Structure 1
Amino acid sequence: MLRKILIYLLFTTAVFAQQKVVTSIDTTKNKIGAEFKLTLKTSVDTLSKVVFPKLRTIGALEVIQSYPVDTVKKDDRYELIKKYGLTQFDSGRYTIPSIKILINNKEFLSDSIKVEVANIQVDTLKQKMFDIKDIVKVQESSDWWKYLLAILLILGIGAFIYWYTKIRQKKKIEEEVYKTPIEKATSLLNTLEKKELWQHGEVKAYYSELTDITRNYIEEAIEIPAMESTTSELIEGLKAASQKKKMKLSQETIDNLFTVLKQADLVKFAKSKPLEFEITEDRNKIQKAILTLDEAIPVEVPIEEDSILNEAQRQKQIQIMLKKKRNQRIAIAVGSVVFLLFATTFFFVVTKGFNYVKDNILGHPTKELVEGEWVKSEYGNPGVVIEAPKVLKRIDLTKTLPKDGMALIKEMQSFGYGSLLDNFYIMVSTMKFKQETTLDLSKGIESSLKILETQGAQNMIVKEEDFQTNSGITGKKGYGTFTRIDGNSQSSTKMYYEILLFGQAGGLQQIMILHEEGDRYATELTDRVMNSVELKLAGN
């Protein structure tokens, strides 16, 4: 029995030994961003199933390449080789942890390996340093075309209103300056024929205009209410007026006029469809009736001062009226555009709110910063890594510091965007001291605020609390408000500020942000920048 157990143990040990995972790496020390090539090997029989994991990271290292599995046959076994390309972009010592490999659904672990990632040494004496370049703007989608389309649409409506009123007014002016009713009626009949309404199937519209011209002439020339009268009332009124004015009208003229007006009533109200020759005859009857009526009206000799305007006076009157009507058209068109703009703005104010209209139509500088392309960069030494809407430019603040303070500083670098007079200002400053110094961060915040006071800040409210970055580094945060005075206009603006200070044995790191109080986009900017703060240790 003991012999069987020993044989079994030896057998299982041999099997596990055959399935052991061999771990190796091409190098244990590399530069930042360089590739470590991790190799896993296992030997199995031809019936075994081996699964290597698909990984994006292995510990603190990033998998930049997962190589295909190589298979090498040795006698009745297979040697499987799997390689992973790893890298790390921060210096330090790291451990590549064990990796689980499944062989016939059983877990086997690779060996852990320690590696080191070293900084790339840069000779700053030979290599000239440059500021970080700003982001190259690419063409991006925007909603500007929607606003342009809306403006063009409103202007188009204004132009249509101008054109429409011009046509209407021109027609009206021509009607107003006809010398006599018969001249007006004759001209309108000729214009009606040019429209070719009945030829295009618009018989009802044709008869409607034809009778309107006739009734207008009778009302203006004979002075009876022809437009409001029925056909029968019109004929009776015409007979009475002819007797009163001693007009000589034949029964044929009365009958022809009655016949055409009755035909028009049937077309308009009974949907009658006269033939083409009937339409032509009706038109001729109307024209003949109008001419006969005009000839029958007694001629009165006008007094000299009341005589009809001569042609020159008539043309002058037309020009005066055209100019007056043109000004009216412009006023109507401009008024329509203004009304549409006001109505559109009012609609957005009601549905979206005033701030939406102000920020999206009129524009808002800090909103554009929030929605722009942000960049994450490292500034100064010891380095401060932040995400900001713009790349910060190097600035010189040495002149603003007292001389006794500058005597303690070995190196100082400052970077900023905007100015104290802008809607949004951000500044990052780092210092390295000549010797290790115990720092009082609260006094450091106080000193920064005194510098602001020398530049015009008044009525300053100061609050202070501890601050901790996402990686756990602690510092001090000063925040509050002050009044900014414009030296030129003497106007005042309420400003909000935040200052972060971090002290190290050999250096100091500071982030300052200023913006107008109540600017919600600037508040969003500040929160995003402050939440992105990462710090480098002095000497690294």
Structure 2
Amino acid sequence: MKKQLYLFFLLLSTAVFAQQKQVVTSIDTIKNKIGAEFKLSIKTTVDTSSKVIFPKLKNFGALEVIQSYPIDTIKTDGRYELVKKYGLTQFDSGRYVIPSIKIFINSKPFMTDSLLVEVANVKVDTLKQKMFDIKGIAQADNSIGDWWKYLLIIGLIVGIAVLIYWYIKKHQEKKLQEEIHKTPIEKATSLLDTLDKKELWQKGEVKAYYSELTDIARNYIEEAIEIPAMESTTSELIQGLRAASVKKKMTLSQEIIENLERVLKQADLVKFAKSKPLDFEITEDRNKIQKAILTLDNSIPVEVPAEEDVLLNEAQRQKQIQIQLLKKRKKRIVTAVVSVVVLLVATLTFLIVLKGFDSVKDNILGNPTKELLEGEWVKSDYGNPGVIIETPKVLKRVDLTKTLPKDGMALIKEMESFVYGSVSDHFYLMVSTLKYKKETEIDLKKSMDGALQSLEAQGAQNMIVKQEDFETKEGIKGIKAYGTFQKIDGDKQSSVKMYYEALLFSQEGGLQQILLFHEEGDTYGNNISERVLSSVELKRASK
């Protein structure tokens, strides 16, 4: 009867598929001390022409391979019996699963059996072992502390503020420089006033002053009289100006042209010969340029535009105004977007430094287990013998009897199972109860081993198992298993490490089981597990 019950728990959560035992797995002992060697043996019998490949591994699950022994070969009746041994060890106490591995025979894979082993602590005789006093608390070095984080935040905010100020100032200056004037004379007059306000020659920057002064005159001549003044030499400019005055019928005096030529040549001497005019000469040159520009503007014949041209120019002017308004609007939008993005990045950086990346990510992007923890919990009664438990969501009834073999179901009178999620999710919770047709004594440790091996059959790998006694608030005693295992994430095609806890209680004629697991290191998952398990209440089995 006990053997049948143990077999049933192996198949509690999944069906077992038989396989021809061409590969036999054995171990010299299933219980050993920390650091001691387990000798795992893998044996297969093949034809003399068969090719067998045993794996070269550094670890079997959580156990380390400390020795890979040579293959023993025994020939009997024209066949080879090959035995490969591995020396395994573990330096932490607990119950560990040696997982199934692939053995290739003629390129065809065969799986070994998984085994459960136990690593025990080494007892220390405190009567013979010399004891030492506990060392005093060492003072931590707090010379650095967390001040650098706040300094980094302040520096970051100041840097962002300076960047925004520089960006706005640069665009404002550019806007002033690109100010549109209605006529060339208005532009030249405005630039001369701006040049006076700079006071360049008063500060000793005579060369820069003459360069801007002559550029204003040349630019005006190029725009108003339409000759290439900016790239012409002084002689070419004066010659082109004389020709343009005749062509455009401009009334220019010889004095104006000579004064303009004199100032341009003076500027050439300042820029290229390092000449230094006196203060009054600089003032006179500035006045000569202004007088020359005004005289040139007055001498240009005024053409009365036709009515159609006036309307066309007005339409073009209105179109230009609309284009400028759109450009300004785009600039304002870009400035606003950049400012918002910069402030958002600064705020996120501040929160990450202050509270940590995971906390900020969970609060902004969301976290499924966080939502479960902070949601409305439900306390309910499940199964028979009843399990009263508080959970983040109501558990749904599932039928596991269809996955069990007929010989296992023959022992059961009643079975009920309730779950949240699935074994492929990152959080899973199951409550299962059953009643037997006949009362029998149940070995909880063997039953727990069977339940955990069934979890391994569903995809759990490298399982680490630790067990301890468990007692509810009402004093009902049971057994608790906990540890970690690796689970393949099908969506990301990667391995995820999970933390699990399982409770098992036996009553007269019945069993009650609770299993939950979540990602290792998930703080919210840990809090859910603690709250769920601390709320467990059990009912006695009814006849």
Alignment TM class, shorter chain as reference: 0.3 to 0.5
**Greater relative contact order (CA < 8 Å, ≥ 6 in sequence):** 2
**Larger-Rg structure:** 1
TM value normalised by structure 1: 0.47
Q: TM-score, normalised by structure 2?
A: 0.46
